[in-house]
Amino acid sequence: MFSYSFMVRAMFIGGLVALCASLLGVILVLKRYSMIGDGLSHVSFGAMAVGLAFNQAPLYVAIPVVIVAAYLLLRVSENSKIKGDAAIGLIASSSIAIGIIINTLSKGTNIDLNSYMFGSILAINKEDSVLCIILGIVILVVFIYCYHYIFAITFDENFAKACGIKIEIHKTILAILTALTVVIGMRIMGTLLISSLIIFPAVTSMRIFKRFKPVLISSVAISMFSYFVGMIASYMLEIPTGASIVVCNMCVFIFATVIAKILKK
């Protein structure tokens, strides 16, 4: 299995994405921003469709578009009469519709919608691999550097503001990190399933642990385990990568829920 270069790339890059997504997922779930990943993945799909239609590298088109969308979603959810979940629904459905229309109208291009919708281990080429690795490292470095600020904002914004932390700047940083994670993970997980990589590990770890650091560490462990098991199952059974990883996450969640109930007795 590991004799194939595409499999090695998928394992390495996917593992990096799983790591980033699990760290950000804990923050997003606690802040009730968990569904922002779903909305951004749909925006990414539309942006990639535009890039392919104009013979441009889809990742390079998607990155700035999704970053802007993340910032707008954050602002709309906080300062608009439109609630956050409604804004995500509007943007997500509109982006998917635009992507499908562009795919239908484009002449001379052959966009494999299945690989974008549900993920594929063959989706990432060598050029994309380099960009994904660089972005993944940037996400981790920025998250570690801003960890204490993000921690303060997550639990008590008023206290963070009193301590002189620039809340809006760090919220924007969080939105950008989430956007980058969604873009680099979408090729493997797919548009419809990338948000599960953000939500499942965080929610699962919260079933067992209550303190922040144990939740963060266990979320990373669960995400990495589910990703690698899902990837192997995808290769062995010849099933879509994203679906395989989500099913693994679901099984771990069910197991954690049962364990949590047993421990409470």
- CATH homologous superfamily of 5-193: ABC transporter involved in vitamin B12 uptake, BtuC (1.10.3470.10)
For the stretch 34-86, pLDDT in tens is: 788 888 888 888 888 888 888 787 888 888 999 988 888 877 766 656 666 67
Query: Quick one: pLDDT at residue 52?
Result: 80
Token digits of residue 40? 């951004």
For the stretch 154-187, pLDDT in tens is: 888 888 888 888 888 888 898 899 999 988 888 7
Task: Tell me the percentage of the chain whose pLDDT exceeds 90.
Answer: 23
Helix (H, G, I), strand (E, B) or coil at 68: helix
Per-domain boundaries in the chain: 5-193
* Residue corresponding to tokens 């459905």: 93
Query: Quick one: pLDDT at residue 143?
Result: 93
Contacts of residue 246, defined as CB under 8 A and 6 or more positions apart, other chains included, come to: 193, 196, 200, 230
Torsion angle of C-alpha atoms 74, 77, 82, 84, degrees rounded to 10: 100
pLDDT at 108 over 60: no
Distance CA 67, CA 142 (A): 15
Average pLDDT over residues 100-114: 68
